[in-house]
Structure 1
């Protein structure tokens, strides 16, 4: 601009002179002056000449054109990432409001077009206006260009290229007035690259050795605080944040630094200091974003001292926040704090109301949802409402990051509830059915007559709601609604054409039909979280109603006789219901006692069980558990009653032995389930499969109801598979998965059915060319008088002499009648047959002459698994 002004003044001055010259000379002078102007313009554009005009021409063009537009693009990009960033006030805030993602950016690509444009402008400034003459940059704006380049790359999360730009400034422009700013940005980048120790070292040196302006000092100390937080030196971070807050003039930064200070003070347990920091934010009020202001209030509320504080004033404080219209976007968090206040004051019903309000008002904060569902789940758990607790924990997990630590903790809680929910359902259902069985015909008719009346009432209410919805949506639209619809259609069709809009919500008939269909399918549902599960369909009462009405025609639906006919009359069915109900009571007693330490609940279940005349095998363990429960409850009188009962009426039992001799531990008792399982497992390893099956069946009956029973079942299944083959193994796994679905063994069986069983079902033979290991098999009858061990001793001597292969032998049970002696480690089918022929050579001192067959290891696994030896031999 200056150059153009000088040129213009020169030209104007010369023009005045020309006017005074003779007309004949005017044309010649104009030509000369025009040539001089063009030469002057071109010489000032040169980047190779270090003149006043050249430097200022390029400096002004860089500053007011290229860098100006580049900085505008940078600010637009920063605004866009600020808008996209969701602040997590539940955790310690980062010093800089920027979300770093793991998305991989290829060279030449950019996450944000604004930053890409800013980078292009910075590069253009260097390429078009750079004046690198004799190794020195003469354009004073180029360092600004490199600073813009580094910032654009930094915000675009390309930190290595950004670091290169900042380092270039430090290397090439040590006298720049932006040198300290470049140093600060370099260390910000180092922190993003997790070079925290290096950043701390450089920043401390910068602060100590340089005279920084206020904003540079605020920036340096704030990012130094972030580095300290990253290395867990939070006390040092606190000191730096105080300096940053005192030196910055940016109100948003003041609020942020104070908020982080308050969070750190809370971590250290200094609530008073934290509240001072939060008060500084509250004082800024409308000068800062509302989120800082509200969350500062909420943090102060969480720091309230319930032991000594004024609860009335605190409730007024919460009520004021709730009623302030400006706080509507934050009602979800405010409602949670009100709920926490009531919960702490033991007003559980009020607390539950506000937790649910918080859930309904939630603005998409999943962590807040998780907190609310967890608290509601814990409240249900503490009130022994385990089914409700399980549902709340399920909702919690949907709002947590999969496999995160909080997710795993909630999942563990939920898994612990699986058994109690399962057995409570069985107990309640069977109790209801057995209660109906015990009623007379007249009483049953009265029960189902009332049930039918209730069904009719509900059907009438539903029909009335549906008719009301139809009337509301049948096209009887008010003039205001018609006007609104017309305006919407006009927006969709600005040209004023009369064609009908295709958009769903512009068509009142379509909307009405959709609403009616929704009501018909789902009923009258409230707008709230998990609305599909929030109505009558979630209750056990509704579940039982749906089960009763299943398959009913229109006439049968309101006929009491239809439901009375469903009551079981077969004694076998009734006995099965009683048995399942009693077993459920026993399992609930064990679960409440062992898992949840709910001794009163456990006691009630065991006593109900004994009152219901259970099977004999459940009586003794129930009495022993009641003895243990009363001991834990310090009710020695009742404990002594059950102790005497066990010693008197079950004198030969292991429980009686334990009570007579308390010093003997259950685990070391030779007759304990644990000890017997270990013996059975030893027999399994010794391939005594028939004995394992027999012993397991005996112990399963003996210890029914004990947690060890599923272990005996899975051991028996494995023994059956080894002795009888794949089908027996698969059937045994199915039985375990269905009978013990909530035990670890039941879940393991289900997993095996899904994964291992399909792979084990193969019966097709593998080609010998595809195998790498082969075996020689010698077959023995189990009932013969031949000594298998003596044969193996002779065979081992032959194997030891072989130095070419790494051979080994084993004795494998095939079935109840046949045992194999196997030589392992041969490398071909011919080699296996050849080895057997060599050791049978009659010229040998002790030849092993016995029939054999060679087989690959994969095919040997198939004949052991499916017991199809004959099929294999026929195929050869």
Structure 2
């Protein structure tokens, strides 16, 4: 009996469970069964997963204190809508739980949901999608609540979350309309009021309506009980006041953050202190008190995670006090903290670079600008500004390296034998000491010296190769200009370049030497060039570097005194004649800009007296006559010659360019004339002349646009043009018939072309074109284009019936388009005709 009772009880329980599990029966037991299971099982675990995901965001999120903080600590990558973007396993689990709740426990009976927990499930679904960055699916979930559950207790929360989602989707107008309507009803809980006010504040910040943003920020931090949120909102308020230039109001807002003490994250308090320091009034404030505060912050163990920003702020403090050496020291301290803030890293490098630049130490500045632009966001405004300055500095670094290296060699050449021996004995002692401390020196070199203005940082009076940093900058500049070059003779020519003769001599003598040999005086004495031609080559290269530096300092950096120093030093070194006049003219311009009108007038009189027919003398006598638009100005002359180049007047272009290069020596337009002349030579004389001309331009104008273009052509184009082997005569799809004329017989050529065009028009058999092509200075071709086979090209004369027209009875030959290209590039007419006959 007792056993039977157990069976009956078990069967009844199972039947009860099965009956209550039904989602289609609208009964008390069914509703409560599904409601309880939804709330205390599925949604409970789903909300735990959501909370864990929010904790992950809290732990991993990095605020950007260089911009106004967002109200909500949430960020997504730019590729916002890519699949699985910003996915967090906890949010994914929360979404799955929400979907399960709807699918397993939803009781949609006759169009009405009978489970009161399903709206909670949809709210969880929307939140999990929102935090995963999937805003459109999230919006669908929130809209479903508003559509299906208008009487839900979560209706206001759903409306706020819908507005937040629209804000993320940049639908500000829709979000604003919805939030305003919601707030006007005044039926929100305090928690919802805080959410709505904070969302409105963010909306107004996004639309640059800062006054309205401030109003809603105040409403939000007044209502909220969350001290971390209150601290964040006060901090944002302070940042907005800073943007508006209201420093006193900003400091009050930051002080409210500080007064919350440990109730807010440490990052808020530290950055609030730093923002107040940035707003410090150096004219009226207590500087010593500020220094004490900064020192205390630096020493505070709790603030160690923020030393990168603290050291940067201390560096800016020293800048304000015009203590540049300490500023650089602290910028470097900030760099050594290994900060994850790349913008801060860029600012540190940028500040150091600017200090060196302002001190006219351009080589060292270039190194720091290089590190700066690597850390700025690519194509941002500061990135572009730094890149432009860095590009300008590359020329300075390059030419300063040449000038210092060649000066050092020439100084050695000028010494007596005993002076040379004494010098190298001192050098060897230093090298030995350096070798003993090599590992230490290498570690120290990871961060360049910060001794701003110190003796070691200056290169004045020092041998180029003593200054390790300068050598490094020279190598860096060299690599930027020339790329990786093999250790070989004539390396500057066609990818094989600076102090060519010296490099060749030293490389050949150093080859095979051991470290022991390098530490002997005789080794260095043998490296000093003795050949007069070699020494003259070094001096010429040094002089050209000085000239270029004079122009760069004057034109690009407006450093007129440094320009004067370089140009005066050049003229003292008895440079070659081609540099004297342009150097004097640019020296006159620099004196005028300093201003030093007395010396400017002296140089001006010298130019007019000693070079009366030169262009520079004409400029000085009558500046209005040489404006850029003048028909005799460099741009106008170049334009006219380029038009002649396009008209195939190649010899005239070559001769005129040669004259204009001399006439405009020292002008920035000279490389353009050189490249035009080289192009004309290539068209007239072939590949060899073209290659030689490009190498000359790349060698002598490496940092001009034309020099870089020439090097690119050498690297990427010449190899494709070098092959001079003709293809099989009948191979190809397009062929030409070539008529050969003496270039002096222009009247005959014109008559022939006219008759040929007339015959082709009368025949109306083929769609052919006729052109006149220059082959070389003695030969001109009349070319018939559009023939489809070698046989057709050979039989072209028969097609036009030349027997009735003596003018057209000229000798001709057939050629494929590909072979014609090779013929023109390499000027290999005789070789082709010989191949044709064989």
Q: What's the TM-score bracket when you normalise by the shorter of the two chains?
A: 0.7 to 0.9
> Who is 2:484 aligned against?
none
**C-alpha separation between the residues in 1 aligned to 2:263 and 2:656?**
80
More divergent stretch after superposition (240-249 vs 706-715): 240-249
| SS in structure 1 of the partner of residue 782 of structure 2 | strand
Secondary structure in 1 matching 2:739: strand
Q: Is 1:426 aligned to 2:402, yes or no?
A: yes
Q: Residue in 2 aligned with 1:823?
A: 784
* Compared CA separation, residues 440 and 841, structure 1 to 2 (3 A): closer
Change in Cα spacing, 1:738 to 1:64, as seen in structure 2 (3 Å) is same
Q: 2:185 aligns with which of 201, 206, 209?
A: 209
1:708 pairs with 669, 672, 675, which one?
A: 669
1:85, 1:813 → 2: CA distance?
A: 69
Q: Distance in 2 between matches of 1:822 and 1:250?
A: 87
Partner of 2:88: 112
Tell me by how many angstroms 1:801 deviates.
4.8
Structure 2 Cα separation of the partners of residues 543 and 51 of structure 1: 84
Q: Quick check: 1:94–1:226 contact (8 Å CA) kept in 2?
A: yes
Q: Which residue of 1 aligns with 2:222?
A: 246
How far apart, in 1, do the equivalents of 2:764 and 2:821 lie? Answer: 26
Pairs within 5 Å for 1:747-826:
747-763=708-724, 774-784=735-745, 787-801=748-762, 807-825=768-786
Match of 1:374 among 350, 364, 369: 350
Matched, 1:525 2:443: yes
- Map 1:717-732 onto structure 2 (within 5 A): 717-732=678-693
Please point out which of 322, 336, 339 is paired with 1:360: 336
Matched, 1:653 2:625: no
Q: Deviations over 1:163-203 (max 9, x none)?
A: 21111111111110111111111222222223232222222
Residue in structure 1 matched with residue 115 of structure 2 by the alignment: 139
Q: Residue in 2 aligned with 1:506?
A: none
Contact 1:696 1:713 in 2 (8 A): yes
Match of 1:56 in 2: 32
Measure, in 1, the Cα distance between the counterparts of 2:197 and 2:203.
10
**Contact in 1 for aligned 2:578/2:665 (Cα 8 Å):** yes
Task: Say whether residues 1:861 and 2:803 are aligned partners.
Answer: no
CA distance 1:790–1:379, change in 2 (3 Å): same
Q: Distance in 1 between matches of 2:654 and 2:202?
A: 65
Instruction: Provide the secondary structure at the position in 1 that maps to 2:808.
Output: coil
State the TM-score, normalizing by the size of structure 2: 0.87
Distance 1:433 1:837 in 2: 72
Per the alignment, residue 539 of structure 1 pairs with 469
Measured in 1, the distance between the counterparts of 2:37 and 2:191 equals 27
Q: Please give the alpha-carbon distance, in whole angstroms, between the structure 1 residues aligned to 2:344 and 2:84.
A: 40
Q: Is the 8 A contact 1:359 1:529 kept in 2?
A: no
The answer (yes or no) to whether the contact 2:367–2:473 under 8 Å persists in 1 is no
Partner residue of 2:426 out of 439, 450, 460: 450
Give 1:218 shift: 2.0
Q: Which residue in 2 is equivalent to 1:302?
A: 278
Give the Cα–Cα distance (whole angstroms) in 1 for the partners of residues 350 and 731 of structure 2: 56
Cα pair distance change 1:524/1:680, threshold 3 Å: closer
Residue 232 of structure 2 is matched in structure 1 by: 256
Structure number with greater Rg is 1
Change (3 A) 1:581 1:129: same
**Native 8 Å contact 2:694 2:710 kept in 1:** yes
- Deviation of residue 714 (structure 1)? 0.9
Structure 1 segment 2-41 matched on structure 2, within 5 A: 35-41=11-17
Which one is further off, 32-41 or 71-80?
Answer: 32-41
Match in the other structure for 2:527 = 566
Pair 1:229–1:763, CA change in 2 (3 A): farther
Q: CA deviation at 1:237?
A: 2.9
5 Å-filtered alignment, 1:472-491, equals none
Partners of 1:92 and 1:263 within 8 A in 2:
yes
Whole-angstrom distance in 1 between the partners of 2:471 and 2:235: 49
Alignment CA distance shift 1:541-1:776 (3 Å):
closer
Question: In structure 1, what is the equivalent of residue 479 of structure 2?
Answer: none
Aligned 8 A contact 1:617 1:703 in 2: no
Structure 1 position 702, deviation (Å): 4.6
CA 1:673 to 1:575, structure 2 compared with 1: closer, same or farther past 3 Å? farther
Contact 1:658 1:666 (C-alpha < 8 Å) held by counterparts:
no
State the alpha-carbon separation in 2 of the partners of residues 636 and 102 from structure 1.
57
Distance 1:389 1:44 in 2: 79
Distance 1:218 1:805 in 2: 83
Give structure 2 stretches of 5+ with no counterpart. 450-455, 458-465, 476-502
Quote the Cα distance in structure 2 between the aligned partners of 1:827 and 1:254.
Answer: 83
Structure 2: distance between partners of 1:732 and 1:272: 66
Task: Map residues 168-207 of structure 1 onto 2, 5 A cutoff.
Answer: 168-207=144-183
Task: Give the counterpart of 2:72 among 77, 86, 96.
Answer: 96
* CA distance in 1 between partners of 2:68 and 2:566 (Å): 47
Tell me whether 1:267 sits opposite 2:227 in the alignment.
Answer: no
Deviations, residues 814-852 of structure 1 (Å, cap 9, x unaligned): 122221122345566666666654333546x89733333
Number of equivalenced pairs: 791
| 1:810 match: secondary structure | strand
Q: Describe the SS at the equivalent of 1:742.
A: coil
Q: Which SS does the other structure have where 2:666 is aligned?
A: coil
SS at the partner of 1:820?
Answer: strand
In the TM superposition, residue 722 of structure 1 has moved relative to its aligned partner by: 0.7
- 2:310 pairs with 1:334: yes
User: C-alpha distance in 1, partners of 2:369/2:279?
Assistant: 27
TM-superposed CA distance for 1:622, in Å, is: 1.8
CA-to-aligned-CA distance 1:643-701 (integer Å, 9 cap, x gap): 22122222222222222224322535665544443343233222222232233334334
Does the aligned pair in 2 maintain the 1:360–1:528 contact within 8 Å? no
